[in-house]
Amino acid sequence: MSKAVTVATFTSNFDMKYMLFKEMLDEAGIDFMLVNEITSTIDGTFSGSPTNIGIEIRVMEDKFEEALEIYNSIK
């Protein structure tokens, strides 16, 4: 069984590389999931929530190499 693995972590959902990477994954037909997207935008709202939560983009491990190649192509 394949599992989801993290390809990249971003500190903000306003990061241009983050937005471009998601768009390029969509164009390549690679399904991905976002982890901590909401939590990172409401940083500090919840008592005790860490302030360094990153937004993770995860793909299924069989698509990891292809996704990593796309990520590395972004300057």
Give the contacts of 73 (CB within 8 A, at least 6 positions apart).
Answer: 24
CATH number where 28 lies: 3.30.70
Residue 62 belongs to domain spanning:
4-73
Q: pLDDT for 45-71, tens place per residue?
A: 444 445 557 899 999 999 999 999 999
Q: Kindly report, residue by residue over 30-44, the tens digit of the pLDDT.
A: 999 999 887 655 554
Number of domains composing the chain: 1
13 vs 67, more confident: 67
- Rounded to whole angstroms, the Cα distance separating 55 from 32 reads 12
pLDDT at site 41:
56
